[in-house]
């Protein structure tokens, strides 16, 4: 019985440590990524339907969900079912009811046609292999005037060649029929790019 209590105590301490570490990690990430300012700068409004490609465990997803409010909706896409399950659990724990997870394919996020006012790709675009194909498959899900926001590390600042330079990102979007939209530049180590489908 004493052993069971000890195991339970250790498990609880481990869980508390994980939660605290995750919270500290997000707080640290918030400092350099400035998600609230990004969301405001690109024009997210309450009531919008926003998609996120490569949502993962939902770091940015939950911030978008709070920004669009209870009358809005966030469609969180990923190809990792485990990450989406984690996100769904997080939504239940944090009482968020305006997030829907979408298990996509490597070349297609599988968002519904004509559903989205805006799409985010946060630290995701550089990891997409068939970038032009994915963007072409994304286009039908965009409403008229919808924008696609790319937030990613700037290799010209950090020196990390795993990430794409701004010019390369712009070229991929142009090949898929998108044009760049002016956006405020205020991040120190990241790029914030906005695009609109021009056909």
Cα 192 to Cα 5: distance, rounded to the nearest angstrom: 50
Reported pTM: 0.86
Q: Where are the domains of the chain?
A: 1-33, 34-197
Select from 3.40.640.10, 3.30.450.40, 3.40.50.150, 3.40.50.300 the CATH code of 34-197. 3.40.50.150
**Grouped pLDDT means (10 residues each) for the chain, 199 residues:** 42 36 67 94 98 97 97 98 97 96 97 98 96 98 98 94 96 98 93 95
Cα 160 to Cα 23: distance, rounded to the nearest angstrom: 25
User: Looking at residue 108, what DSSP letter applies?
Assistant: B
Which of 83-114 are b and which e, b meaning 16 or more Cβ less than 10 Å from the residue's Cβ? bbeebbebbeeeebebbebbebeebbbebeee
pLDDT at residue 186, rounded to an integer: 93
**Neighbouring residues of 113: CB distance < 8 A, sequence distance ≥ 6:** 140, 141
pLDDT at residue 145, rounded to an integer: 96
């Amino acid at each position: 019985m004493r052993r069971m209590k000890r195991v339970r105590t250790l498990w609880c301490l481990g869980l508390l440590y994980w939660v605290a570490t995750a919270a500290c990690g997000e707080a640290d990430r918030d400092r350099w990524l400035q998600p609230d300012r990004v969301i405001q700068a690109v024009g997210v409004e309450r009531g919008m339907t926003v998609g996120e490609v490569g949502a993962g465990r939902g770091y940015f997803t939950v911030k978008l969900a709070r920004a669009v409010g209870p009358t809005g909706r966030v469609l969180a896409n990923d190809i990792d079912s485990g990450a989406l399950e984690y996100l769904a659990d997080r939504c239940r724990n944090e009482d968020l009811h305006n997030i829907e997870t979408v298990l996509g394919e490597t070349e297609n996020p599988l968002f519904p046609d004509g559903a989205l006012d805006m799409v985010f790709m946060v630290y995701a675009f550089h990891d997409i292999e068939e970038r032009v194909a994915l963007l072409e498959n994304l286009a039908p899900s965009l409403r008229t005037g919808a924008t696609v926001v790319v937030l990613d590390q700037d290799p010209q600042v950090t020196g990390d060649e795993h990430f794409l330079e701004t010019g390369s990102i712009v070229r991929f979007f142009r090949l898929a029929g998108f044009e760049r939209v002016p956006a405020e530049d205020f991040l120190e180590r990241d790029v914030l790019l906005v695009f609109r489908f021009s056909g």
